[in-house]
């Protein structure tokens, strides 16, 4: 496996941190009367997917970068139902993410050679 690019390390750790912090924040939304509300459970699963993506990007798994892009794409779609600035920011983040995850050096890293 080739040496991990710094950009991949940063992106992966950002995904891990955002996922863990988001999970911890949203876990307080579980209520004892309705412990498995669909909205809260879905949010938590999405946060865990960020953590999984970050961990496996650090390990050089190609599917993890696709999961990271899908995760951000999901947020772009969701933000389209909110405000225009939120859509713009998520779209910008998605563009930057795709740039760093699919540069030739990143592709070599994820291919293992």
d(CA 33, CA 45): 20
pLDDT of residue 70: 96
pLDDT of residue 96: 95
pLDDT of residue 30: 63
d(CA 77, CA 58): 26
- Over the chain (113 residues), the average pLDDT of each successive run of 10 is 87 95 77 62 86 96 96 92 92 95 94 74
Structural domain spans, the chain: 6-111
Q: Is 8 exposed, middle or buried (0-12, 13-18, 19+ CB in 10 A)?
A: buried
pLDDT of residue 112: 78
pTM above 0.95, yes or no: no
Q: Is 40 exposed, middle or buried (0-12, 13-18, 19+ CB in 10 A)?
A: middle
């Amino acid at each position: 496996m080739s040496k991990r690019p710094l950009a991949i390390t940063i992106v992966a750790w950002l995904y891990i941190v955002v996922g863990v912090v988001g999970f911890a924040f949203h876990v307080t939304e579980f209520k004892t009367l309705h412990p498995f509300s669909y909205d809260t459970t879905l949010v938590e699963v999405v946060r865990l997917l960020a953590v999984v993506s970050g961990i496996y990007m650090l390990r050089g798994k190609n599917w993890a970068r696709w999961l990271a892009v899908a995760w951000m794409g999901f947020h772009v779609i969701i933000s389209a139902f909110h405000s225009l600035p939120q859509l713009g920011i998520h779209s910008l983040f998605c563009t930057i993410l795709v740039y760093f995850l699919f540069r030739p050096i990143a592709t070599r890293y994820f291919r293992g050679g």
